[in-house]
Amino acid sequence: MRTTVGIIGAGPAGLLLARLLHNAGIDSVVLESRDRAYVEHRQRAGILEQGTVDVLRAAGAGERMDREGLRHDGIELRYDKKRHRVDFPALTGGRSVTVYAQTEVCKDLIALQLKEGGPLLFEAEALAVEGADTDSPRVRFRHEGVEDVLECAYVVGCDGFWGVARSAIPAELTRVFERTYPFGWLGILADVPPSHDELVYARHDRGFALLSMRSPSVSRLYLQVPEGTDAESWGDEEIWDELERRFETEDGWRLERGPITQKSVTPMRSYVHEPMRHGRLFLAGDAAHIVPPTGAKGLNLAVGDVVTFARALTHREETGSDDLLDAYSATCLSRVWQAERFSYDMTTLLHRAPDATPFEDRLQIARLERIASSRAAETDLAEGYTGFPFG
C-alpha cells in the first residue's frame, strides 16, 4: 500500500489532518489500532478554542458542532466564597470557546472521511516507523491478522504518548521536559443539567474543583484528589458533598445533584518532546506533548500541530519549497510552550499542593485577586484560554 501521507492514529488530530489534506488534494491513509466504536466513545476533552472552531468550520466539519455545541463567552473563578466572571469577548476582541466533546468531533470527522476521504483502517495496529530519515519512510502495521507495509512520502504520528511514532526518533537526538503533579482529577459524568451556564473554576483550601458540562442535560465535574486515588473509593454522595463545599459562595448559590453515570481519575502531568520532527516523520498531539487539563489545551494543541503540517505540505506542493516543513518543529513548539506555560499557571493558581504553606495559600489568593481587579491580568488569562494563534 502506498500513499503521500501515512497518518498513525484516528483521534481528532489524525482525522482532522486527513480532512485538511483531502481538501488540499493530497492523499493519505489513516491507521487506527482500535475499533470504530472505541474511537467514537472514548471520553476526552470538551473545550474547543476559537481557532479550533474556525478550523473545523473551514474544513467542512462544523455543521453539527454549530448546531449542538455550547458557545461560552467566559468562565467563573471562585475563591474565598467569592465569584468573578472573566468576559472573553470583551477582553479578546470577540473570541470565545465552545463546549463540544472530543467524541463528537471524532464522529463528525470519521463520517466525512468514510464518505469522501481516503482509506481509514480501524483495528490496524502500527508496529513501527522505518526509514524516517529517508525519502521513503514506511509504516509496518497489522490489519485483520496480516502484517503489511504502508509506503509514504511523509509519516505523521498522531498516535498518542504510548504510540510507536515517537520511538522512531533516535534517543540521542531528543530532549524531554516533564513534570508530574502530586494530585489528579476525580471526574464524574452526571445526568443533571449544569448548575451554571459557564465553566466554574474553584480554588479552595480543600482542593480544586471544576464545574463543566457535556450538554444542557449532562454535567461534567471534577475534584482535585491525591495522586493514585481509586475513583471507586469515593461514594456518590461523598462526591456531591465535597463538590458543594468547594463551590460554596457568599450569595447562596446551589449545586444541583443527579445520578452519577461515570467516575474516573485523570493524572496530572506536563510533557514535551523535542524535536517534533525527524526526517520525514512528524509528531502531533500527545505523541509530542501533554498538558494538565486545567487550561483545556490538549485537543487544541493537537489541532494546531496538524494545521501547521497541512499548511507546510500544501506550501511545498504549490511552490516546491521545504521551508515550512523544515520549520515545523520550531513553529509548533513555540505554541506548545505557551500552552504549557498557561496550563502550568492555571494549575498552580487553583490547586493546593499537599505540602502547601500558609504563605503559598495567600499567594494564590493574591494572584486571583489580581485577576479580578486588573484588566491586564484578566486579559492575559482570557487570551490564553481562548487560544494562541496557529503558526
Which of the following is catalytic: 12, 22, 72, 181?
Answer: 72
81 catalytically annotated: no
The whole-number average pLDDT for the span 374-383 is 98
Sequence-distant contacts of 227-235: CB under 8 A, at least 24 apart: 227/180, 227/181, 227/182, 227/183, 227/184, 227/267, 227/268, 228/184, 229/184, 229/186, 229/265, 230/265, 231/186, 231/263, 231/264, 231/265, 232/263, 234/186, 234/263
pTM for the whole structure: 0.95
Cβ-based neighbours of 85, under 8 Å, separated by 6 or more:
74, 75, 76, 77, 198
Q: Does residue 391 surpass a pLDDT of 70?
A: no
Residues 208, 246: contact at Cβ < 8 Å?
yes
In the set 22, 204, 289, 297, the catalytic residue is 297
Residue 181 appears among annotated catalytic residues: no
Confidence of residue 389 (pLDDT cuts 50, 70, 90): confident
For the cut 70, the answer to whether the pLDDT of residue 15 exceeds it is yes
Mean pLDDT of the chain: 96
Looking at the chain, the whole-number percentage of residues with pLDDT higher than 70 is 100
Q: Is 222 a catalytic residue?
A: no
pLDDT tens digits, one per residue of 19-37: 999 999 999 999 999 999 9
Q: Which residue in the list 201, 289, 328, 351 is annotated as catalytic?
A: 201
Instruction: Choose, from 181, 222, 328, 385, the residue flagged as catalytic.
Output: 385
Which domains, and CATH codes, for the chain? Answer: 5-72+96-177+269-346 (3.50.50.60), 181-267+352-386 (3.30.9.10)
Please tell me the distance from the alpha carbon of residue 242 to that of residue 357, in angstroms, as a whole number.
22
Contact 45, 106 (CB under 8 A): no
Residue 72 among the catalytic residues: yes
**Residue 79 known to be catalytic:** no
What is the CA angle 313-317-318, rounded to 5?
115
Per-residue pLDDT of 262-319, as tens digits, reads 999 999 999 999 999 999 999 999 999 999 999 999 999 999 999 999 999 999 999 9
